[in-house]
């Protein structure tokens, strides 16, 4: 992917998407997948993980990614506002169901995957926890970036402890919903068609079961970290959920990923 620097991107019209370079960040991959399904063109803009990203902050006021910036509107940074922007700019194909009950379920499930205290959030706390629990964690210069992530995303020893329970509970819920849908002869997580939650599941699944290197050429260290799970997470990772991730990539997003 050819990234534009923030100082150049801010001068450009249209839709710009700030992404963490070199890694498949699940929130960023979700935004890319939504834009891809809707065939919305955007200018990819550089953000570097665990750094201060001063030029970006000078432009949008926000340090991390993703950020979707349309014309001179404020940057959209949350998964829900990025989805709302995409639905407004390109209503078809709709990724939010029209039926109110299905919409509420779809948004609730997406919240469980993407929001604070959700699957991705807790998995991140679980991943950085061991590094921030070492005896010299508060002064080791090699951990400056990890400390920044810990501060920005609310790490504490208690947070690591409950993260595993939250992750397993959310995986169980997703597996149960997919089983219900399949029993009713349906292929997707909600309703009859693809919706945003299918894209979120495909992207966030990487944090517990990364795609193979030929489909997702991420740094080896990150693959090992993401792929090292707990016995409870392994047990909760239903084969059908993994097969659903594959279907979504093959049919709607396309592989290999480019980041
Ligand atoms: N603001 C997003 C979450 C964004 C987020 O957690 N981004 C992370 C993962 S992609 C990030 O930018 N990490 C690298 C960093 O903080 O430098 C939301 O609420 O949906």
Tell me if domain 6-89 and domain 100-253 are identical in fold: no
Q: Is 79 in the pocket of ligand 1 (CB under 6 A)?
A: yes
Residue 145 Cα: closest atom of ligand 1: 17
Q: Is 49 in the pocket of ligand 1 (CB under 6 A)?
A: yes
Q: Is 6 in the pocket of ligand 1 (CB under 6 A)?
A: no
Tens of pLDDT along 166-224? Answer: 999 999 999 999 999 999 999 999 999 999 999 999 999 999 999 999 999 999 999 99
Which residue in this structure is represented by tokens 């709709």? 94
Name the residue at shortest CA distance from atom 1 of ligand 1.
78
Beta strands in 52-155 (DSSP E): 67-70
Name the residue at shortest CA distance from atom 2 of ligand 1.
78
Residue 64 Cα: closest atom of ligand 1: 12
Tens of pLDDT along 216-254? Answer: 999 999 999 999 999 999 999 999 999 999 999 999 999
Pocket test for ligand 1, best of 51, 56, 64, 151 (most atoms within 8 A of CB): 64
Beta bridge partners of 45: 4, 18
3-state secondary structure at position 27: helix
**Phi and psi at residue 101, in whole multiples of 5°?**
-65, -45
pTM assigned to the model: 0.95
Question: How far does the centroid of ligand 1 lie from the alpha carbon of residue 27, in Å?
Answer: 6
Pairing of strands 67-70, 15-20: antiparallel
State the greatest distance between any 2 C-alpha atoms of the chain, in Å, as a whole number: 55
Q: Domain limits of the chain?
A: 6-89, 100-253
Q: Is the pLDDT of residue 142 over 90?
A: yes
- Cβ distance 102 to 190 under 8 Å? yes
Q: Which CATH number fits domain 100-253: 1.10.3470, 3.40.50, 1.20.1050, 3.90.105?
A: 1.20.1050
Please give the class, per CATH, of domain 6-89: alpha beta
Q: Which residues contact 219 (CB under 8 A, 6 or more apart)?
A: 22, 23
């Amino acid at each position: 992917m050819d990234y534009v620097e923030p100082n150049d991107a801010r001068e450009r019209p249209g839709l710009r998407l700030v992404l963490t370079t070199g890694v498949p960040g699940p929130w960023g991959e979700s935004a890319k997948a939504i834009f891809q399904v809707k065939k919305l063109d955007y200018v990819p803009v550089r953000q570097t993980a665990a750094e201060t990203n001063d030029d970006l902050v000078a432009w949008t006021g926000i340090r991390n990614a993703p950020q979707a910036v349309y014309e001179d509107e404020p940057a959209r940074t949350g998964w829900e506002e990025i989805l709302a922007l995409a639905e407004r700019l390109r209503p078809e194909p709709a990724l939010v169901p029209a039926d109110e009950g299905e919409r509420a379920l779809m948004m609730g499930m997406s919240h469980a995957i993407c929001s604070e205290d959700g699957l991705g959030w807790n998995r991140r706390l679980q991943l950085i926890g061991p590094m921030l629990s070492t005896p010299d964690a508060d002064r080791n210069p090699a951990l400056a970036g990890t400390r920044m992530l810990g501060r920005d995303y609310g790490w504490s020893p208690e947070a690591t402890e409950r993260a595993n329970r939250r992750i397993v509970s959310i995986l169980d819920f997703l597996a149960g919903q997919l089983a219900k849908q399949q029993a009713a002869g349906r292929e997707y997580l909600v309703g009859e068609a693809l919706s945003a939650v299918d894209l979120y599941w495909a992207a966030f699944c990487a944090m517990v079961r990364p795609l193979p290197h030929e489909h997702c050429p991420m740094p080896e260290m990150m693959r090992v970290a993401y792929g090292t799970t707990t016995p409870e997470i392994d047990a909760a990772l239903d084969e059908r959920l993994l097969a659903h991730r594959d279907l979504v990539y093959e049919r709607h997003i396309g592989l290999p990923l480019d980041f």
